[in-house]
Amino acid sequence: MRAMTMALILSLSAGALSAKPHLRDVPEVDGTLLSVGIADEIRKNCPDISARMMKALGVVRSVGARARELGYTDAEIDAYRKSDTEKDRLRAKRDAYLASAGATPGSSEGYCQLGRTEIEKGSLVGALLRMN
For the stretch 18-77, pLDDT in tens is 589 999 999 999 999 999 999 999 999 999 999 999 999 999 999 999 999 999 999 999
Which ranges constitute the DSSP H helices of the chain?
2-18, 27-45, 53-69, 74-82, 84-100, 108-121, 124-127
Look at residue 14 and tell me if it is in a domain: no
Domain residues for the domain of 120 are 21-131
Look at residue 11 and tell me if it is in a domain: no
Look at residue 2 and tell me if it is in a domain: no
Report helix angle 74-82 to 84-100, nearest 10: 60
Look at residue 1 and tell me if it is in a domain: no
pLDDT of 15 over the 60 cut: no
Domain count, the chain: 1
Look at residue 13 and tell me if it is in a domain: no
Look at residue 59 and tell me if it is in a domain: yes
